[in-house]
Amino acid sequence: MVVTKLSDDLKRMKAAVFANYEGLTVPKIEDLRRELKKEGVDYAVVKKTLLGIALKNAGIAIDPQNISGNFATIVSYEDEVAPARILAAFAKKNEALKLVAGILEGNLIDGKAVMALAKLPTKTELLGRLVGTLNAPVSGFVNVLAGNLKNFVYVLNAIKEKQTT
């Protein structure tokens, strides 16, 4: 049952991160779980053999036995960057948490790649930047047109003042 649920979760995931939690207290782990849940990210501690079966069932060719130490599996279903970003921020405050590896687009990535992923902006920030970039030419064009209208009004005003004097 655990393997079936985990397999289904891994099939629909956008990204997963494996984090070594040894040295964290239970209240700290609960704090981390709450932060992850706010972003729709799941946290699970599963034996490597069961995780290996679930990964195989999900069609992901990664052997968790090759990842050293005990680790939790953190899975995101909507945002590829969310688990890495949340875990990296949590690890800054709690040095016992170590980002060991991750899965992105079905490929295993190391801890350094997970940290690099954590530094990327969120999807919402990227969309905001895209809208700003797409809007820049339009707003520039509007400013040019407004400038021409202002100059036209100044010319008309100057002609009016010249005729009244």
What pLDDT is stored for residue 96 in this prediction? 87
pLDDT digits 0-9 by tens, 98-146: 988 998 888 888 888 888 888 887 777 778 877 777 777 777 666 666 7
**Rounded mean pLDDT, 23-27:** 90
> Architecture of 2-120 per CATH?
2-Layer Sandwich (3.30)
The rounded percent of the chain whose pLDDT value lies above 70 is 93
Which pTM does this prediction carry?
0.71
CA-to-CA distance for 47 and 77, rounded, in angstroms?
21
Q: Of 73, 17, 69, give the one whose Cα is nearest residue 44.
A: 73
Q: Residue 114: name the closest of 134, 138, 133, 97 by CA.
A: 97
Domain-wise residue ranges, the chain? 2-120, 123-165
